[in-house]
């Protein structure tokens, strides 16, 4: 798992114009398209962007010009620059990167969807849901609200979505603190008329209509049990659509909107904003090193600070992402879950990315039957990591609805810990799969039923009075598996004494929040006799004898 502080390496030229010059060593076909004459920058601290621009402009000559064209994410210090009459664009980028006060600078790349065309539009069975154990999970919860009464929201970044689709409209998110179409920022969140979502390119809340977005959104949260079409991973969830997230400036702005809404929700105790728990990105750039896209990568840590888990689709090519790179799934962030594609039996698809450091798990994406449409609502299949990823995104939302206070009770007061906890439940409870073993961080594919069982165990007895539940002995009597429970998840001391009270062994235990707690003790150095195992923390202590034969 990628639980490492975000590290940014030497920046390289990452994308090109259609007719531009590609990065050395990479063909034009492998280099992503960028929007001409635009550079994304992030400035340091409280420094004025205008001072930075003046500094850059002072080093230009003649008719050469550069200016701020868009404030992308004000609190994150991200701005879009536009330049004119520049002959050597690479030289300009180097100049911007070396200007005092500029943390990062990069081209503004176009990011395509990661889907494969449907090959059987009449296929209608949702075998994907059975594979990931969704029916068993639905016996426990179908989504909607946390135990604390917060309305769960999942944000989906797309180029557009047909939210009038009868299977999506009932679950569409609305910003009820905003009055639609009055030209006023009623909730003072910095956005005008964001009543039903947000358009990252044009502002406002008109999502447009895009079949890819309609399909992905349906996998996350098509309304279930409504006698209509299909169901998503969540029957009930609020779907926040961010449309026109295509260029990196728009992607960063989209994530900033989502992060701002969750931060507002946290700080107002739910009076404003949105309780966004996850974002879905079913798009990306093949063979792109993360260090070429520092602003995009950095958004995941920023989202994690307010309690949001990002879920990203890897490439639809049989590529070792650890070696060749991929955006966004080679970004280093503990709050990004990277997903590759499996078939309906859980086996890795031949054409999907992998990487034992970068790719976390698989999910079914091959021929996923879901909602479709741009003008007329319908149903069809979508393939690739585009459809694998929203299964995981939907699972994050579903887990937040579990009736287990110990899982999400601190979602507003300690959103970082809560997000990590939900992430761990998903990644620690995958279904092992040989074709994913050794090439993903977990070695398995999404299994929501396992995750739900882990949460139920958390609330149904795994936490209780301090107790040694069982001691199992190996056949040679040299190894002992000790199963135990604790009343909290603080560190405990594990000690072994002989019958004279002499300490033979001591170590510190860290009880885990999900599953059965146990430790393996190697007693091969102990002579035959009777010994005492002790678990303790402060004044709390439990002991139990065991024989070494």
260 found inside a domain: yes
Least confident of 158-167, 330-339, 456-465, 529-538: 456-465
Q: State mean pLDDT over 66-88.
A: 92
Quote the pLDDT of residue 125: 67
DSSP reduced 3-state for 93: helix
Residues in a beta bridge with 199: 243
pLDDT band at 115 (very low <50, low <70, confident <90, very high): low
Q: What is the CATH number of the domain that holds 64?
A: 3.30.70.920
Taking a C-beta distance cutoff of 8 angstroms, is the pair 83, 91 a contact? Answer: no
Question: What is the rounded distance in angstroms from the CA atom of residue 406 to the CA atom of residue 463?
Answer: 10
- Is 465 strand, coil or helix? coil
The verdict on 356 and 218 lying in the same domain is yes
Between 7 and 231, the more confident residue is 231
Range of the domain at 486: 467-548
Rounded-to-integer distance, Cα 335 and Cα 346, Å: 24
Instruction: Indicate whether 368 belongs to any domain.
Output: yes
Whether residues 404 and 517 share a domain: the answer is: no
Query: Is residue 123's pLDDT more than 70?
Result: no
Task: Give the global pTM.
Answer: 0.74
Domain match, 138 and 41 both: no
Q: Given a cut of 60, is residue 480 above it in pLDDT?
A: yes
Judged against a pLDDT cut of 90, whether residue 507 lies above it is answered with yes
| CB-CB contact of 392 with 415 (8 Å) | no
Lowest mean pLDDT among 30-39, 129-138, 274-283, 352-361: 30-39
| Residue 6 scores a pLDDT above 60 | no
pLDDT bin (cut points 50, 70, 90) of residue 460 is: low
Task: Identify whether 44 is part of a domain.
Answer: yes
Task: Tell whether 9 is covered by a domain.
Answer: no
Supply the CATH number for residue 280's domain.
3.40.50.200
Query: What's the confidence (pLDDT) of residue 60?
Result: 92
**449 and 486: one domain?**
no
Question: In angstroms, rounded to a whole number, what is the distance separating the alpha carbons of residues 521 and 506?
Answer: 10
Token readout for 415 is: 């959103």
Across the range 500-517, mean pLDDT stands at 82
pLDDT exceeds cutoff 80 at 450: yes
Same domain, 298 and 388: yes
Output the domain CATH number for residue 490.
2.60.40.3080
145-162 mean pLDDT = 95
Over pLDDT 90: what percentage of the chain? 72
Of 220, 214, 258, give the one whose Cα is nearest residue 236: 220
Task: Examine the domain organization and report whether 55 and 179 are in the same domain.
Answer: no
pLDDT at 440 over 50: yes
Residue that finishes a domain, picked among 458, 487, 508: 458
- Give percent of the chain above pLDDT 70: 91
Q: Name the DSSP class of 3.
A: -
Number of domains into which the chain is organized: 3
Residue 91 reports pLDDT greater than 50 = yes
Mean pLDDT calculated for residue range 186-190: 93
Last residue of a domain, one of 390, 423, 458: 458
Report if residue 11 sits inside a domain.
Answer: no
Contacts of 501 (CB under 8 A, 6+ apart): none
Q: Mark whether 412 and 500 lie in a shared domain.
A: no
| pLDDT at 56 (0 to 100) | 93
Co-location of 190 and 281 in the same domain:
yes
In a domain, 18, yes or no: no
Mean pLDDT of 507-527: 83
Q: What is the pLDDT of residue 208?
A: 87
Residues 273 and 416 in one domain: yes
Q: Residue 353's pLDDT is what?
A: 98
Question: Is pLDDT of 420 > 90?
Answer: yes
Domain shared by 213 and 142, yes or no: yes
Same domain for 491 and 363 = no
Asked if the model's pLDDT at residue 492 lies above 50, the reply is yes
What mean pLDDT is predicted for residues 264-282? Answer: 96
Which of 83, 109, 135 is the endpoint of a domain?
Answer: 109
Which whole number is the average pLDDT over 34-59? 90
Say if residue 122's pLDDT is above 50: no
Task: Point out the least confidently predicted range of 22-36, 264-278, 295-309, 405-419.
Answer: 22-36
Give domain status of residue 248, yes or no: yes
Query: What's the average model confidence in pLDDT over 153-171?
Result: 96
93 and 242 fall within a common domain: no
The answer to whether residue 515 scores a pLDDT higher than 80 is: no
Q: What is the pLDDT of residues 238-265, one digit of tens each?
A: 999 999 999 999 999 999 999 999 999 9
CA-based nearest residue to 43, from 14, 7, 68? 68
Q: What is the pLDDT of residue 30?
A: 58
**Rounded mean pLDDT of the chain?**
89
Return the pLDDT at 21.
Answer: 35
Residue 28 lies in a domain: no
């Amino acid at each position: 798992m990628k639980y490492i502080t975000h590290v940014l390496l030497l920046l390289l030229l990452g994308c090109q114009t259609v007719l531009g010059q590609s990065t050395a060593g990479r063909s034009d076909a492998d280099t992503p398209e960028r929007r001409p004459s635009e550079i994304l920058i992030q400035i340091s601290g409280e420094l004025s962007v205008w001072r930075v621009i003046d500094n850059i402009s002072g080093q230009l000559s003649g008719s050469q010009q550069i200016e701020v064209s868009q404030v992308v994410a004000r609190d994150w210090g991200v701005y879009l620059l536009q330049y004119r009459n520049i002959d050597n664009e690479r030289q300009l980028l180097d100049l911007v990167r070396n200007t005092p006060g500029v943390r990062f600078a990069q081209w503004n790349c176009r990011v395509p969807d990661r889907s494969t065309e449907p090959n059987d539009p009449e296929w209608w069975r949702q075998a994907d849901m059975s594979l990931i154990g969704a029916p068993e999970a639905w016996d426990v919860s179908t989504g909607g609200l946390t135990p604390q009464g917060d309305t769960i929201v999942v944000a989906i970044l797309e180029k557009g979505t047909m939210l009038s689709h009868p299977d999506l409209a009932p679950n569409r998110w609305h910003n009820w603190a905003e009055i639609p179409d009055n030209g006023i920022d009623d909730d003072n969140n910095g956005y005008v008329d964001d009543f039903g979502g947000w358009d990252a390119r044009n502002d406002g809340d008109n999502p447009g209509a895009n079949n890819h977005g309609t399909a992905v959104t349906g996998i996350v949260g098509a309304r279930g049990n409504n006698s209509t079409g299909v169901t998503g991973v969540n029957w009930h969830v609020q779907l926040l659509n961010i449309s026109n997230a295509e260029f990196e400036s728009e992607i960063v702005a989209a994530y900033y909107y989502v992060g701002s809404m969750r931060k507002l929700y946290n700080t107002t105790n739910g009076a404003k904003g949105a309780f966004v728990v996850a974002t879905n990105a079913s798009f990306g750039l093949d063979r792109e090193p993360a260090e070429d896209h520092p602003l995009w990568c950095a958004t995941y840590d920023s989202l994690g600070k307010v309690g949001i888990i990002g879920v990203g689709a890897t490439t639809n090519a049989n590529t070792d992402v650890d070696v060749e790179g991929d955006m966004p799934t080679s970004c280093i962030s503990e709050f990004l879950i990277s997903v590759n594609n499996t078939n309906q039996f859980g086996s890795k698809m031949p054409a999907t990315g992998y990487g034992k450091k970068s790719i976390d798990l698989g999910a079914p994406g091959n021929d996923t039957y879901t909602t479709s449409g741009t003008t007329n609502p319908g149903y069809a299949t979508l393939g690739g990591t585009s459809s694998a990823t929203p299964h995981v995104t939907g699972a994050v939302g579903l887990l937040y609805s579990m009736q287990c206070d110990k899982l999400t009770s601190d979602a507003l007061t300690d959103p970082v810990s809560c997000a990590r906890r939900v992430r761990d439940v998903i990644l620690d409870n995958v279904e092992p799969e040989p074709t994913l073993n050794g090439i993903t961080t977990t070695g398995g594919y999404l299994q929501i039923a396992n995750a739900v069982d882990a949460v139920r165990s958390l609330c149904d007895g795994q936490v209780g009075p301090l107790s040694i539940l069982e001691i199992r002995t190996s056949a040679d009597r040299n190894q002992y598996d000790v199963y135990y429970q604790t009343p909290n998840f603080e560190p405990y001391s594990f000690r072994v004494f002989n019958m004279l009270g002499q300490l033979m062994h001591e170590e510190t235990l860290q009880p885990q929040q999900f599953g059965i707690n146990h430790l393996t003790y190697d007693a091969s150095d102990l002579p035959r006799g009777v010994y005492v195992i002790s678990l303790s923390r402060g004044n709390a202590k439990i002991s139990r004898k065991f024989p070494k034969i």
